[in-house]
Amino acid sequence: MRLALAQLNPLVGDLEGNGRRILAAAERARAGGADLVLTPELSLWGYPPRDLLLRPALIQRQEQVLEDLALACPPDLALLVGVAEPASGRRQPGLYNALALVQRGGWRFVCRKRLLPSYDVFDERRYFLPGEAPAVLELEAGGRPWRLGLTICEDLWVEEELQGLWPDAVDPIGDLGPRRIDLLLNLSASPFGQHKGEVRQRLAARAAARLGAPVVYLNQVGGNDELVFDGASFVVDGAGRPLLRLACAAEDLALWDAGPAPAGAVAPMTAPVEAPSVPDPWEQLLRVLVLGVRDYAAKCGFQRALLGLSGGIDSALVAVIAAAALGPGRVDVLRMPSPFSSDGSLDDAAALAERLGLSSATLPIAPLMEAFDAALTPALGAPPRGVTEENLQSRIRGTLLMAVANQKGGLLLSTGNKSELAVGYCTLYGDMNGGLAVIGDLYKSTIFGLCDWLDAEASAPCRAALGLPARGELIGAAIRTKPPSAELRPDQRDSDSLPDYAVLDPLLKACIEAMRTPEELVAEGADPAMVARVTGLLRRAEFKRRQAAPVLKVSGRAFGSGWRMPIASA
């Protein structure tokens, strides 16, 4: 049997358009002699469709799109398509997360997802009922019958020691054991997470060992709102050894021949084929962020992007990502110096914009600061000072950026990092302005590491592939090595207000991603005063985060849909 792995980038809710994407992949697969085309979880809808699933008209439209696919399906080819299957009767929620088998002239439902994640960013029990039985699809190919075990995404995640949780008492992999399948197919929509690819490989290898059968893992690719799906699909043999690997953070289609095993026996695999090597973790992270910005802009209808370029490392990294995502000709940057801005920062920002080929303008804000001082003095009895004065600078800059974005129809990119969002070291209606928080899930220490890699020789091939200058410094040593500062008052440093990031970031990661309590942190040796300070800042900043732009998720727990803390709490 020859399989085509169609690693697709759908647009959520675009049933007809996604159907055309699937059909185009089927035509390519047919030209390669494929017998069966695999597409990702909910490939007809795009994942996650969220409350679009609650619209009866879209459920009805899905049936017509499937009929159209069946009429257009190439002969002698079968498609596995991710769909929402209506449940019979009046059971609520009234859908199954399912797979449909589409062939020339007809289609039918063949698999229902059994494990429905309802943690982190997932909320599938809001929309779906769990499937109750294992799914085995029997097909003829290559002159023999094949028994294909079908699972959907979470159904593979049943190894407690690998994933850190046991989602359900149901074991979809174990239930397939007595069925003597030839192949296990897992069709997924699994968002990117650092080191998550390694876990997927180990889960697939464990399933292969339990079933004595090869495993095909096919993942969605592309950015949908704050989630970025990295693709990185693969095949492992019955011993868990990799045979095929698809691209990371890019659409891909690969043909794989499972070989002619006799009926009832485990299919022997062909020799390992040439496949892209696993990218460096820094490269994976960069490519996923670039994909997230590119798709967010394209799928929301933005042709251009805009950001404020301060000469600091955060805005420098966002500028690089934006240039790679959209092309330098479609990225505008503003320098907005105040009387406290250093000449070095202004020069660094100008040099970076020139290296990247970005359109740059300079708008000094000193006159606006003076006008605000004059306007507020009657109400305050004196010009604004302290934090009020500092926040006004940020809000003046935010207003200018929003005005330019409005006028040019561009997407304003926020440049704040996760460390700042965590402790509230950011200004509502100022530097938090924007339609997308590009690096809002990167701790400051991670940003330093990524920028160091970007300026190293090892990044040259990736930079070239993304259309960035491949040689020489990109971020620049001057930006990478300067002490972090918002430059809102003379000689200001982040360290004036925050602990050193080498101390702060591990505490934040423990609180946010591992959900450690202050008592646990102190028991493990952390300074009690530091713990109290950091956890207090984290709690008090919740009202700001609730109003922040969507954050591209790249960690185990990001602010946004996977972080649902109350604003008013003890």
> Of all helices (H) and strands (E), which one includes residue 175?
helix 172-176
Give the amino acid at 7. Answer: Q
Angle at which helices 313-326 and 343-356 cross, to 10°: 10
Residue of 73, 113, 451, 509 marked active site: 113
* Beta strands 242-245; 234-236: pairing state: antiparallel
Distance separating alpha carbons of residues 5 and 403, to the nearest angstrom? 45
CB of 535 within 8 A of CB of 559? Answer: no
Distance separating alpha carbons of residues 115 and 249, to the nearest angstrom? 26
Q: Is 554 exposed, middle or buried (0-12, 13-18, 19+ CB in 10 A)?
A: buried
153 is catalytic: yes
Residue of 153, 248, 426, 511 marked active site: 153
Q: Please name which of 252, 115, 265 lies closest in space to residue 183, comparing C-alpha atoms.
A: 265
CB of 390 within 8 A of CB of 369? Answer: no
Provide DSSP, 491-526.
T--GGGTS--HHHHHHHHHHHHTS---HHHHHHTT-
Q: Please name which of 334, 338, 363, 339 lies closest in space to residue 349, comparing C-alpha atoms.
A: 334
Residue spans of alpha helices (H) in 40-104: 56-72
113 is catalytic: yes
Provide DSSP, 380-447.
HSS---HHHHHHHHHHHHHHHHHHHHHHHTPEEEE---HHHHHHT-S-TTTTT-SSEETTTTS-HHHH
CB of 219 within 8 A of CB of 193? Answer: no
Distance separating alpha carbons of residues 318 and 441, to the nearest angstrom? 12
* Per-residue tokens: 318: 């966002």
Q: Catalytic amino acids?
A: 41, 113, 153
